[in-house]
Amino acid sequence: MHMADALLSPAVSGVMALASAGALAYSVVKLKSAGESNLGASVEGRAPVMGVMGAFVFAAQMINFTIPATGSSGHIGGGILLAAMLGPYASLLTIAAVLIIQCLFFADGGLLALGCNIFNMGVYACFVAYPLIFKPMVRSGLSRGRITAASVVSVVVGLQLGAFSVVLQTLLSGVTELPFGTFVLLMQPIHLAIGVIEGAITAAVLCFVFQARPDILDSYAASRGTARGEDRGALSFGKTLLALLAMAAVIGGGLSLYASSYPDGLEWSMEKAAGTAEFEREGGAYDSAAAIQEKTAFMPDYGFKSAGDEGSALGTSTAGIVGGALTLVLAFVAGLLASALKKHAGNNV
């Protein structure tokens, strides 16, 4: 559901950029003022998880799965997965790191649209669906059944809110090619189907973590009477992160080659509503944003520039590994900066 710049007016993109920047700033403030997750209430302990899970979500987003009988595909957003691992504030910083790397280095999502994409894919999941749906559903005790139900319901709700926001943002931007009624009737059902599949994938990963190292999960400390009690799980903290990192490498470097070739839910809806998913907009803001991305995107569309439109398997695998590594570094650094700010705030008290 990465929006392109052509779907937005400069005014709408500017407002959404400010909204997302405010949400990110709020997250940093909350992280530095108090511990958030179950990792010893420590931002330092959270930073490695931010890095590894950022790489995991980057890799997972490269795999578009086919939505049966539609001619469409979808990929995970990752907001609920990150929030369940990290809590809402660290997860928003992490999903922002994923989207920034995708936008700047792989030209996935427009630069003007970055604020919209962070809000639609991050804020709704981390600040609405996770605290209001996921956490209450597992509050009475973590179990595989509760994790699965909470994952599916919260992912669906977050994705529905994000999809509806895309429709509103195009409406407010004056994109007349996408009539509101038609567009919303296409966007909501297809993203409902995508949400169910993403919810199942999210549940599978969280159940693995629950089995391997349940205390990493954000809701572990708050839940009562978990199935494992005070058991720390089958694997050490480090081995669990290494397992997740290995999964990210396999997904980004190998399984990404088998991604569905069908258009994603947003592109499919655009094609159904307007007959095309390729819109053109003229103006200085669009030209400047495109020029910046042309300079920064060293692997546009997750491939080598020299490979042309068809791309290559080597390019896709390389993009998966390199992009995951870049996201790991950026998300890890964000965690360390939050830690530094927290220490600075503590010293000034």
- Provide the residue ranges of all domains of the chain, joining segments of one domain with +: 5-347
**What is the spatial distance between Cα 93 and Cα 97, in angstroms, rounded to a whole number?**
6
Residue 233 — very low, low, confident or very high, per pLDDT cuts 50/70/90? confident
Rg (CA), the chain: 19
Q: How far is CA 38 from CA 87, 142, 219, in A?
A: 9, 14, 7
Token readout for 222 is 């708050």
Tell me the three state secondary structure of residue 37.
Answer: coil
Instruction: Report yes or no: 88 and 130 within 8 Å, Cβ to Cβ.
Output: yes
pLDDT at residue 337 greater than cutoff 80? yes
Cα separation of 107 and 297, whole Å? 6
In this prediction, residues 235-257 reach a mean pLDDT of: 94
The rounded distance, in Å, linking the Cα atoms of 60 and 37 is 23
What is this structure's pTM?
0.93
Do the Cβ atoms of 176 and 195 come closer than 8 Å? no
Q: Which fold has domain 5-347?
A: Arp2/3 complex 21 kDa subunit ARPC3 (1.10.1760)
Mean pLDDT for 189-209 is 97
Q: Which residue has the tokens 């994603």?
A: 264
What distance in Å separates the CA atoms of residue 139 and residue 222, rounded to the nearest whole number? 7
Percent of the chain with pLDDT over 90: 79
Residue 43 predicted with pLDDT over 50: no
Is residue 196 helix, strand or coil?
Answer: helix
Mean pLDDT, the chain, integer: 91
CB 62 within 8 A of CB 320: yes
Residues 249-280: pLDDT tens digits?
A: 999 999 999 999 999 999 999 999 999 999 98
What confidence tens digit (pLDDT) does each residue in 121-171 have? Answer: 999 999 999 999 999 999 988 999 999 999 999 999 999 999 999 999 999
**Residue 67, SS3?**
strand
Task: Decide: residue 208, CB within 10 A, 0-12 exposed, 13-18 middle, 19+ buried.
Answer: middle
Comparing CA positions, the residue from 221, 157, 167 lying closest to residue 192 is 157
